Amino acid sequence: MTVITPEVSLDPAQVGAGDVTHFWRVPRYRGLDCLRATFRRHAYARHSHDTYAIAAVLAGCETFFHRGEQRYVPAGCVAVVCPDEIHDGEPYGGGFEYRTFYPSPELMQEIAEDVAGRPLSRPPWFRRSVIDDPELFQAQVRLHACLCQEDSWASEMEQDTRLIDFLSRLIARWADLDALPSVRYGSTSILRVRDYLDAHIGEEADLAGLANLAGLSRSHFIRAFAKETGLTPHAYLLDRRFRAATRLLGQGEAPGDVAAACGFFDQSHLNRVFKARMGVTPGAYRAA
């Protein structure tokens, strides 16, 4: 995968047959991560984030699994995934080009409270996975270009104005401010195992021990866990390690130290798991 800074498109003459990414962070917006990418081959593994993922597809079509269904995002549409929601993503057809933001729940709740004019008990939730809103799409594309590190012509005031305007419109038009997200971890037995894995992400887990903790046979446990969380126990543990690594890398920790702290075999293992879920390497993410 090539890392570049100029604008790219699906034109083969410009970027060849490879995937192209550019990742950066805007710290003053509660550590807002931004990704600009063209993917022809890269397929995200199923994973989740602490943040929202809001993507505008400029060309081609992306498909992703979300809330139990396969979704399709054609050019001109916006995809929204809320925090903690399992999803993946890959090209549908020849590839796709998109612009993605990862705003924190705190930032989204702050903007939502401005929109609602009242305190809210939780960050906004979005019922739709794919939004067809041409005006909103254009606003996201312009905002993304405005925030890009290479576009020094944009003042902080213009960036702030565009960000608040875009998120306010997104929330006002499409968010459910008081709706509860669907419950994903319902049974006590699976909750017990999930809590154990969350508390021991740096340690190796034993399938028989986890099944015993849930009070189920191993085969029944695997099926029940996957049904309630969307991931197998092993994939869930990798997802939690990925999210912990994201936080530590964002704090400037070295990838080798992060790999050891989060229970990866080595730095190469961290690289494979992280890139399959974030689209960029741990080193690129940390450098941002």
For 135, phi then psi, to 5°, come to -65, -45
For 264-276, give one letter per residue: b (16+ CB within 10 A) or e.
beebeebbebbbb
Residue 17 neighbours by CB under 8 Å, 6+ apart: 40
Handedness of CA 270, 36, 97, 16 (dihedral sign): negative
Q: What is the pLDDT of residue 184?
A: 53
pTM to 2 decimal places? 0.89
Measured CA to CA, the distance from residue 54 to residue 80 in angstroms comes to 5
For β-strands 2-3 and 20-26, DSSP reports them as: parallel
Q: What is the pLDDT of residue 186?
A: 66
First to last CA, the chain: 17
Q: What is the pLDDT of residue 187?
A: 86
Q: What is the pLDDT of residue 148?
A: 84
Domains of the chain: 2-176 (2.60.120.280), 188-229+231-287 (1.10.10.60)
pLDDT in tens, the chain (288 residues): 443 333 334 444 444 457 999 999 999 999 999 999 999 999 999 999 999 999 999 999 999 999 999 999 999 999 999 999 999 999 999 899 999 999 999 999 999 999 999 999 999 999 999 999 999 999 999 999 999 866 557 789 999 999 999 999 999 999 999 876 655 546 899 999 999 999 999 998 899 999 999 999 999 999 999 999 999 999 999 999 999 999 999 999 999 999 999 999 999 999 999 999 999 999 999 998
